[in-house]
């Protein structure tokens, strides 16, 4: 099954999904198509097609930064059969991220009707045991190994 990872650049979650025999949907999957185009700095630089595609979900007056991010990540959410969301992903907010876009994408995952779980990054060993167990049990229920 194709499992969406949120934030979509997480190495840990992507690896855990692969260990259980599923396919992780990470940013690399969609970025491959962008890299081939002659852009100076993908994914920061967006194309006209991205803006057009994002109109499916957003209005015209939405800022281009948010539209570009949503146009990049939404194809992953469309493909996803399940999702794992990390709640306290503070690093995806700030100069490199957009909190509004993140909230919108999480809303899209939740309203799609696919099975999903929400976890937090572990801060000690005990939390890590619970973190891994929750994810592995969820992936086991989906099928696979």
Partner 1 sequence: MEKTYVVMISPDSPVTPSDASKRVLMMKLDLSVKETCFGLIIEGEEDLLNEAVEELKRIDRYGIYVKERGFKIYDNRICRLVRKKRRPGFHQFEREYATLPYIRYGLSAYEKGMEMPEKIKPRKIPAQKLKKLIKEMTYEGDGVSPN
In the complex, the residues that contact partner 1 under the rule CB under 8 A are 7, 9-12, 14-15, 18, 24, 26-32, 34-35, 39-44, 91-92, 96, 121-133, 136
Sign of CA dihedral 115, 7, 92, 63: negative
Q: How far is the CB of 122 from partner 1 (least distance, A)?
A: 5
Does the CA dihedral 120-123-127-27 come out positive or negative? positive
Nearer to partner 1, 35 or 55 (CB): 35
Specify the residue, 10 or 54, whose C-beta has the smaller distance to partner 1: 10
With tokens 């194809």, the residue in question is: 75
Tell how far CA 62 is from the center of its chain: 20
Q: Strands, DSSP E only, in the chain? A: 2-6, 23-25, 82-86, 116-119
Residue closer to partner 1, measured from CB, 55 or 128: 128
What's the closest the beta carbon of residue 61 comes to partner 1, in angstroms?
Answer: 27
Q: Which residues of 57-68 are buried (b: 16+ CB within 10 A; e: fewer)?
A: ebeeebeeebbb
Smallest separation (angstroms) from partner 1 to the CB of 125: 5
What is the nearest approach in angstroms of partner 1 to the Cβ of residue 45?
A: 10
State which residue, 38 or 61, has the beta carbon closest to partner 1. 38
Rounded Cα distance between 98 and 70, Å, is 10
């Amino acid at each position: 099954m194709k499992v969406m990872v949120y934030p979509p650049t997480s190495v840990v979650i992507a690896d855990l999904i692969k260990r259980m025999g599923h396919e992780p949907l990470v940013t690399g999957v969609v970025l491959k198509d962008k890299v081939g185009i002659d852009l100076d700095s993908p994914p920061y630089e967006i194309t006209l097609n991205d803006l057009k595609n994002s109109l499916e979900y957003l209005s015209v007056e939405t800022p281009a930064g948010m539209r570009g991010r949503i146009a990049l990540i939404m194809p992953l959410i469309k493909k996803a059969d399940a999702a794992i969301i990390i709640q306290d992903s503070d690093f995806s907010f700030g100069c490199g991220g957009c909190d509004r876009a993140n909230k919108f994408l999480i809303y899209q995952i939740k309203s799609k009707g696919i099975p999903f779980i929400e976890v937090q990054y572990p801060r000690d060993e005990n939390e890590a045991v619970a973190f891994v167990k929750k994810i592995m049990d969820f992936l086991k229920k989906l099928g696979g190994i």
